Amino acid sequence: GAGVSQSPSNKVTEKGKDVELRCDPISGHTALYWYRQRLGQGLEFLIYFQGNSAPDKSGLPSDRFSAERTGESVSTLTIQRTQQEDSAVYLCASSLGPFGQGGIDGYTFGSGTRLTVV
Amino acid sequence: AQKITQTQPGMFVQEKEAVTLDCTYDTSDPSYGLFWYKQPSSGEMIFLIYQGSYDQQNATEGRYSLNFQKARKSANLVISASQLGDSAMYFCAMGYGGATNKLIFGTGTLLAVQP
């Protein structure tokens, strides 16, 4: 597609339920990232994919968070047993590749999924 | 550790005037990149400008320019001829290569352009 697509755009879930957030990167972008933005704050890095591998998962806040990527394309971020502190906007971004390999070009964000845990 | 600091939580500017948004960074990596993003109330992150650590000249993109002072580790964004549509949150971010490819973001500056 023309841009990074995320779905759903909004999700309200009950505490304790599992949620899946989806990201469709720009076609041909080998690098994919997930970030979290709490209300009124900056973006926090969660995880980075290069192809289908995740060389950096250091930002995942707990073992309730996991992510996968298949076909060097779509990625899913799963949050198990959601808690109220998980409420945030989850942003996905993609780029052509790692920095130093044209990765600066096209580092593009999606519009995010606003997750509300009640 | 890598860190981005934006010390201005909010800024006001009159329409058609220039404004500078401050950003300082901390890294021991010699190779890095500095980004500015705009986030309007709609929530999307809009890329504005990029400066590489080895770039000799300050980056410019239309009304946006980046005042890169490497020795002081600052990367201030200058917006010339402010427009009402420039009202938004502005984030400075740093990226670096190696095994990790993430961007580290500052806390942002909320810019309000007044008519």
Per-residue pLDDT band for A68 (boundaries 50, 70, 90) equals: very high
Q: What is the pLDDT of residues B73-93, one digit of tens each?
A: 999 999 999 999 999 999 999
Q: Give φ, ψ of A86 to 5 degrees.
A: -80, -10
Q: What is the pLDDT of residues A36-53, one digit of tens each?
A: 999 888 899 999 999 999
Which chain B residues are closer than 8 Å to A99 by Cβ?
31, 33, 95-97, 101
The share of chain A scoring above pLDDT 90, in percent, equals: 73
Q: Do A108 and B31 touch (CB under 8 A)?
A: no
pLDDT given for residue A99 in this prediction:
60
Cβ atoms of B29 and B96 closer than 8 Å:
yes
B103: nearest CA partner in chain A: A45
The beta-carbon neighbor of A111 closest among B37, B43, B103 is B43
Q: What is the pLDDT of residues A86-97, one digit of tens each?
A: 999 999 999 887
- The single-letter code of the amino acid at B68 is F
Per-residue pLDDT band for A106 (boundaries 50, 70, 90) equals: low
Q: Do A42 and B33 touch (CB under 8 A)?
A: no
- The single-letter code of the amino acid at A100 is G
| Sign, Cα dihedral of B104, A4, A36, A34 | negative
Q: How far is B102 from chain A (nearest CA, A)?
A: 7
Q: Check pLDDT > 80 for residue B101.
A: no
A110: nearest CA partner in chain B: B44
- The single-letter code of the amino acid at B61 is E
A47: nearest CA partner in chain B: B102
pLDDT given for residue B98 in this prediction:
57
Per-residue pLDDT band for A102 (boundaries 50, 70, 90) equals: very low
Which chain A residues are closer than 8 Å to B42 by Cβ?
111
